[in-house]
A and B are shown apart, each in its own frame.
Chain A
Amino acid sequence: MIQDLNDTSHVAIEGLRAQLNNALVGKKDVVEMVIACLISKGHLLFDDLPGLGKTTLAKSLAQTIGGSFARVQCTPDLLPSDITGFNIFDQKNQSFEFRQGPVFSDLLLTDEINRATPRTQSALFEAMAERQVTIDNQTMTLAPTFMVIATQNPVESHGAYPLPEAQLDRFAMKLNIGYPNNEDEIDMLGQFIGNKFEQRQIGQVLNMAELGKIQDQVAHIEVCEAVRRYLVDLGAATRNHAMFELGLSPRGLITWQRVAQAWAFLQRRSFVVPEDIQAVAVPVLKLRVSTSTEDPEYAVREIIESVAIPTEKK
Chain B
Amino acid sequence: MRRASEKTSRRFECLPSIEMMVPGLLAILVVQGFRANGYRWLPGLWLETLFFLLVPILAMCVFLPKLTNLETEQAKKRVINWLCGGAGLMVGLSIAVQWFSRQVGLGDSYEIVALTTLLNVAWYLTVFSSFGGLGRAAFMLNVALVLFICFMSDQRSIFVLSFLFAISALWWLLGAYWSRINQKLLDGNSTTLPVNGMAIGGTLALVTVAGLIAWVLVPRQSSFNVTGFSFFSGGEQGFDDIFAQSGVGDGQMLTGGSNATTTGPVESDTFIEDDKPSIYDAMMDTFDGPIFKKKQLHRAVALEKQTKHLHDVVQSEMSGKSFRTVREPAETVDLKLEDRITKALFFVEGSVPARFTIDCFHQFDGWDWTKIKLESEDFVNPRISVKRGAKPWFVLQRIPRPYLSYRRAHRVKVMRLGTNTLPAPSLLESWHIHRVDDPSLFYWNEYGMIRMGGELIPPHTMIDMISRVPNYHVLRSDQNFQLNNHPSPAWEMVDRFLGVGTKSGTSAGKRHTGVHDSDSVMLQLPDNETTSRIISLAKSLTESKSPGWNQVEAIVNHLRSNFEHDDQRVPDPDCEDSVGEFLDNGGGPGYLFATTATQLLRAAGYRTRIASGFVVQDDDFDRRSNQSVVTKENVHMWPEVSLDGWHWIPVEPTPTYDIPFSHQTWWQWMKAQASSCIGWMWYHPLTTIITMLILATTIRFRRDIVAVVCWLGWTLAVFLMPNRRLKLTRQLIDARFWAAGLPRPKFVSTKNWSSQVDTAAGRDFFRFWWIENFSKQSSDSLSRYEVLTACRQIISDLSFIRIKAFAKTRPTREKS
Contact = CB atoms under 8 A, between A and B. Distances in A.
Interface of A: 2, 222, 224, 226-227, 269-275, 278, 304-313
A309 B749 contact: yes
A311 B729 CA distance: 12
B747 A271 contact: no
Given A224-B774, A273-B770, A304-B747, 5 more contacts: A226-B773, A226-B774, A271-B771, A271-B776, A311-B749
Interface string B639-683: 000000000000000000000000000000000000000000000
Contact of B776 (A2, A224, A306): A224
A224 B775 contact: yes
Given A222-B776, A224-B775, A271-B775, A311 B730 contact: yes
15 contacts: A2-B777, A222-B776, A224-B774, A226-B773, A227-B774, A271-B771, A271-B776, A273-B749, A307-B747, A309-B746, A310-B773, A311-B750, A312-B727, A313-B772, A313-B774
Interface residues of B, number: 19
Contacts of B750: 311
Interface in B765-816: 767, 770-777
A272 B767 contact: no
Closest 4 CB pairs of A and B: A271-B775, A308-B746, A313-B773, A305-B747
A271 B772 CA distance: 11
Contacts of B398: none
A272 B774 contact: yes
B498 interface: no
B554 to A, nearest CB: 64
Nearest to B727: A312
Nearest to B772: A313
Interface string B731-749: 0000000000000011111
Nearest to A269: B770
A306 B774 contact: no
Contacts of A306: 747
From A304, A305, A307, A311, name the one whose CB has the most chain B CB atoms within 10 angstroms: A311
B770 A271 contact: yes
Nearest to B751: A275
A275 B776 CA distance: 17
A274 B767 CA distance: 13
B577 to A, nearest CB: 84
B179 interface: no
B733 to A, nearest CB: 11
Contacts of A270: 775
Given A2-B767, A311-B730, A271 B774 contact: yes
A128 B748 CA distance: 34
B332 interface: no
Contacts of B727: 312
From B747, B751, B772, name the one whose CB has the most chain A CB atoms within 10 angstroms: B747
Contacts of A309: 746-749
B687 interface: no
B8 interface: no
Nearest to B748: A309
Contacts of A308: 746-747
A273 B767 CA distance: 10
Nearest to A276: B774
A67 to B, nearest CB: 33
A69 to B, nearest CB: 37
Contacts of B751: 275
B747 A273 contact: no
From B748, B751, B775, name the one whose CB has the most chain A CB atoms within 10 angstroms: B775
Contacts of A275: 749, 751-752
A312 B773 CA distance: 6
Contacts of B749: 273-275, 278, 309, 311
A265 B627 CA distance: 80
B774 A273 contact: yes
A267 B747 CA distance: 21
Contacts of A278: 749, 752
A2 B776 CA distance: 11
A306 to B, nearest CB: 7
A229 to B, nearest CB: 12
A270 to B, nearest CB: 7
A240 to B, nearest CB: 16
A226 B747 CA distance: 14
Contacts of B774: 224, 226-227, 271-274, 313
Contacts of A312: 727, 773
A142 B787 CA distance: 49
A274 B774 CA distance: 9
A133 B712 CA distance: 66
A307 B746 CA distance: 8
Contacts of A313: 772-774
A308 B750 CA distance: 12
A304 B268 CA distance: 87
A271 B774 CA distance: 7
A313 B745 CA distance: 19
B168 to A, nearest CB: 29
B503 to A, nearest CB: 83
Contacts of A272: 774
A215 B770 CA distance: 23
Contacts of A274: 749, 774
A305 B773 contact: no
A274 B629 CA distance: 73
B760 to A, nearest CB: 15
A274 B766 CA distance: 12
Contacts of B770: 269, 271, 273
A74 to B, nearest CB: 39
B361 to A, nearest CB: 79
Nearest to B768: A2
Contacts of A304: 747
A224 to B, nearest CB: 5
Interface in B58-101: none
Contacts of B767: 2
A48 B221 CA distance: 86
Nearest to B770: A273
Nearest to A234: B747
A275 B730 CA distance: 15
A45 B269 CA distance: 110
B775 A305 contact: no
A69 B634 CA distance: 112
A274 B730 CA distance: 15
Interface string B541-564: 000000000000000000000000
A312 B779 CA distance: 13
B771 A2 contact: yes
A271 B747 CA distance: 20
Contact of A222 (B730, B746, B747, B775): B775
A215 B785 CA distance: 36
From A2, A227, A308, name the one whose CB has the most chain B CB atoms within 10 angstroms: A2
B479 to A, nearest CB: 62
Nearest to B755: A275
A308 B727 CA distance: 17
Nearest to B786: A1
Contacts of B745: 305
B5 to A, nearest CB: 25
Contacts of A269: 770
Contacts of A273: 749, 770, 774
B491 to A, nearest CB: 82
A277 to B, nearest CB: 10
Contacts of A307: 747
B263 to A, nearest CB: 64
B724 to A, nearest CB: 11
B215 to A, nearest CB: 35
B746 to A, nearest CB: 4
Contacts of A2: 767, 771, 777
Contacts of B775: 222, 224, 270-271
A302 to B, nearest CB: 10
A237 to B, nearest CB: 11
Nearest to A272: B774
A312 B730 CA distance: 10
